[in-house]
Amino acid sequence: MFVGVAPSAADRFLVFGAGANLDPALARIETATNLFEGRQNSRSLLGGAGWSHSFSDRNVLTGAVFGLNGLDRRYTNTASAEIQPGIIIGARDWTRNRIEGVSAALSHMIGIGDLTLHYGLEAQRGRSISQNVSNGFIFNIATQQFEFLDTDDRTSASFESTRLYADVFWRPFDWFEAQAGVQGSRIEVAGQDNDAVSPRLGIGVSPFEGQWLRAAYRGDTLQPIAFTLAPVTTVSLVPNTLPTSLGAETKTLMLRWDAEWSPNVFTSVEYQRQDAEDLSLPIAYSFDSIDIAKARVERLAASANLWLTHGIGVFGTIGTISSEVRSEEAPGADVPFIAGKFARAGVTFVHPSRLRLTVAGTYVGDLKGNLAGRAIDDYWTSDAALTWETPDRRLLFGLSVLNMFDEYYELVPDIRGPGRTFEASLQARF
């Protein structure tokens, strides 16, 4: 929910809030010697308030406060007879994790001739609280005796983060732009400091009408609370998101060519090379993850959009990804769960009554399911989405069908991805 008000021509206020409750499905794995079953419930509440004051057309001061409260509850029941012959080890675990924090941000943008200067300060503070209750046992098959091991652990850790940034955007001509900046961040989690100074540099050139060539290099550090007033793009380029740990830095080189060949044909080609640290790759339908200290990911993708008139558009993307583990976990191996090949194509129809229908197919190939290189079969899925917006544009209804042909595919080794799934949504503007 977003509520905004402008009490004067120079001032603007915004209050927003959002909540989510998830009960994701988890796989049940049962063999002759192993059992795993689990449940999870996640709840999150976030919100904030912001104020912006314009001293002049290109002189704007903005302040904001953000808050986060998240709760994650997990239950697992496991048993294994493979650890030692004649011994069965099992446990029931209940885990409860809560994170709460607040962030304050102040930002100033001022234009001076062809330059736009954007600088600011952000500070965050919060804590995480964890509790784990376990009822474990060891059963000796030969003696038919149980040994019980019960635990109840409670831990808490606080975090603090500060970030200073300054960014300059220069556009002396309609066909040329450049951007440079630097961000300094300090993150303290449970008494451990992580400092980083991340530069940002980008340039964009339009050699011909409708053609743009852009290049940028930047570093990004994952903050505890993602909300920010700092620039999120560098000459309109945005790094791909990687699942890194708190405080980890990702360095990205980006190259992009955008082209408008006619009012009906648009294309783009983009290359990104990312050097990431502290990757934490979640394993679908489980509570586990694959952790990698250092990795490189290179992505090349080409997209095309064709407007056929009468409200019909065709789109398509094809790409390839090369990834490499660069730390001791598995030097030279592919990073799991990152597709080596991918493609997506579809058609969209938009009716003047604000009805929109999209049908698309997605291809994913050359996947690895673990650090040992276990291959996952290539697969195609098809999706459809229908939306309608009311005449006053205050309500937007949506209905989607994912994997509508119920294609069988694996997300991780021996674990099937979601089958045919229906989703409904409602968005309201006030």
Among 361, 354, 422, 343, which residue's Cα sits nearest to residue 388? 354
Is residue 83 predicted with pLDDT exceeding 70? no
CB 198 within 8 A of CB 220: yes
User: Using CA atoms, how far apart are residues 369 and 337, in angstroms rounded to an integer?
Assistant: 6
Helix (H, G, I), strand (E, B) or coil at 265: strand
- The number of beta carbons lying within 10 Å of the beta carbon of residue 152 is 10
CB 331 within 8 A of CB 340: no
Domain range summary for the chain, segments of one domain joined by +: 2-428
Q: Which range has highest mean pLDDT (139-143, 232-236, 421-425)?
A: 232-236
Please, which pLDDT band fits residue 385 given cuts at 50, 70 and 90?
Answer: very high
In eight-state DSSP terms, residue 420 is S
Pairing of strands 34-56, 265-282: unpaired
In eight-state DSSP terms, residue 199 is E
Is residue 161 predicted with pLDDT exceeding 80? yes
Considering the domain 2-428 in this protein, what is its CATH number? Answer: 2.40.170.20
Structure tokens at 412: 């991780």
Structure tokens at 95: 């885990």
Res 318: pLDDT = 98
Among 24, 140, 39, which residue's Cα sits nearest to residue 90? 140
Helix (H, G, I), strand (E, B) or coil at 37: strand
Res 416: pLDDT = 85
Among 72, 230, 247, which residue's Cα sits nearest to residue 159? 247
